[in-house]
Structure 1
């Protein structure tokens, strides 16, 4: 779309001049941008100086930010965020990047199209049964993790991973996933190689996934882990947040505690929370609950 395509030409000789999109009042353009998604606003900003000015208006970007964006900024930058971030467009762009908190063990960000919140929680802050015994578990470096480290299980009888997060989520419906990988991935001569030496026991009995919230919501499902060599997000369940004014505590777990057989060869990377319907990466089909 360009100014020439929308121009209105006067009749020959009547002294009229060519009128283009750049002649529209900046306030009118801004009103249109209120109804567009952020990437569309940024594309329109390239058309002219007037569009660029409208695309920088604070009242336009205020509507794209979550209502509790000041809480998110304080979570990421502390109380001094006002000293480094001023206009709303800059705030939106910064919140769309990775924002670590709690010592870098958790991250949140806004997905850029709708400004909805996503979150990732490292395996380092999950309570893993047997984690302190290196015969069973080890933390290993991984370039395939947002946190550069994953928990790797060699073999165990009693498998249990628990965690929780307390956060002022913007209102909406959220989905929670465990990001898991069967086999140990490495790189050799520039190629990705997956060792499945210790993968066993996951096809005998399913893993039980659960979540609970502080306002009484609960989800439960069972799923067999399969497909070695792929990072897969296993869907635990959904929860609803009504208000950002009150912190929501979410507890979650995955268990396989049938001690008739051992299981091993599993990488636990993180827990992923995102708006329901948002897809990023390979996700397991939701099993019947």
Structure 2
């Protein structure tokens, strides 16, 4: 340790940069020398993506700017995407707004309604009244993602008091495909209810909605590894059409893509 502490600050900064934001915070607790370097703009500027190269708030340090980017998602692409950074890794995260998704029958008020909710990130979200043919799809360009990252895809939603038609019976299943456009993709069955006891078939036990810190629910749709060289779009398809059953009472905020937890 003494040998490392004798290095110039710029060399210590180089060492810290090849760790992670989480490790930089840990190293800041080792000694006053490490803290000075680990909290410096030189280190945290390297953890920030190019979008934050020139801060609109010069009074903030680079570390403060990084933490703001983690805790305060911003709308980009004309409000079509919500963007933030994963706090432990600094990797990019996104949510595709419901307005940007392709939702079958969404413009027919008999089946879907556009509503505003104060707790949503976007000005409007989509509320399902009732449909037999439940289909949602969306895409995001892989160039927006952080390289060498396994991303997990989630549907972010709420259930209203009129929620129905999404139980775990085989005829009510919702099938999902996640993968590069044009590929077979990863396929699985997902659930929007929370009754684990009814899930008895296949290897899908436990794939039920989880409550998020922001009060919404999320159902995991699949995973996608982005190495950095794959060009094109990540495509997500959600389909619930089996049995011709009516279903409703779902409020869709969007589809979220974030790094898999380590």
TM-score range with shorter-chain normalisation?
0.7 to 0.9
1:225: Cα distance to partner? Answer: 2.6
* Aligned-residue offset at 1:221: 0.9
CA deviation map 1:148-200 (0-9, x unaligned): 532111111211111111141121111111112221xxxxxxxxxxxx2x322
Partner of 1:38: 21
Q: Call closer, same or farther: CA 1:26–1:261 in 2, change over 3 Å.
A: closer
Gaps of at least 5 residues in structure 2 are 196-208
Q: Pick from 239, 242, 246: which aligns with 1:258?
A: 242
Q: CA deviation at 1:123?
A: 0.7
Q: Match for residue 149 of structure 1?
A: 124
Instruction: Tell me how far apart the structure 2 counterparts of residues 127 and 121 of structure 1 sit (CA, whole Å).
Output: 11
**Distance of 2:130 and 2:243 partners within structure 1:** 12
Q: Structure 2 length normalisation: TM-score?
A: 0.72
Deviates most, 261-270 or 217-226: 217-226
Which of 143, 146, 150 lines up with 1:170 in the alignment?
146
Counterpart of 2:115 in structure 1 is: 140
RMSD, aligned CA: 3.6
Q: Paired residues, what number? A: 234
- Report the secondary structure of 1:265's partner residue: strand
Q: 1:134: how far off? A: 0.9
- In structure 1, the partner of 2:102 is 127
Q: Deviations over 1:39-67 (max 9, x none)?
A: 56457389769843663252x335534xx
3-state SS of 2:239 partner: strand
Question: For the pair shown, which has the larger CA radius of gyration, 1 or 2?
Answer: 1
Q: What TM-score comes out, normalization by structure 1 length?
A: 0.66
SS in 2 for 1:124: helix
Question: Structure 1: any 5+ residue segments left out of the alignment?
Answer: 1-21, 184-195, 279-289
Contact persistence 1:241–1:248 (CA under 8 A): no
1:156-195 equivalent positions in 2, closer than 5 A: 156-168=131-143, 169-171=145-147, 172-183=149-160
Q: Verify: 1:243 aligned to 2:228, yes or no.
A: yes
SS for the counterpart of 2:244 is: coil
Secondary structure at the aligned position of 2:47 is classed as coil
Q: How far 1:144 moved relative to its partner?
A: 3.0
- Cα distance per residue 1:67-114 (max 9 Å; x no partner): xx32xx1xxx8xxx6484888657645643423211112012111221
Cα 1:221–1:110 shift into 2, 3 Å? same
Question: Would the aligned equivalents of 2:191 and 2:219 in 1 still touch at CA under 8 Å?
Answer: no
Q: Relative contact order, CA 8 A, sep 6+: which one is greater?
A: 2
User: Deviation string for 1:181-237 (max 9, x for gaps)?
Assistant: 221xxxxxxxxxxxx2x3221124111111231473601111333139963321111
- Give the SS at the match of 2:164: coil
Farther off after superposition, 230-239 or 109-118: 230-239
Q: For the structure 1 residues 27 and 252, does the alpha-carbon distance in structure 2 shift closer, same or farther, using more than 3 Å as the test?
A: closer
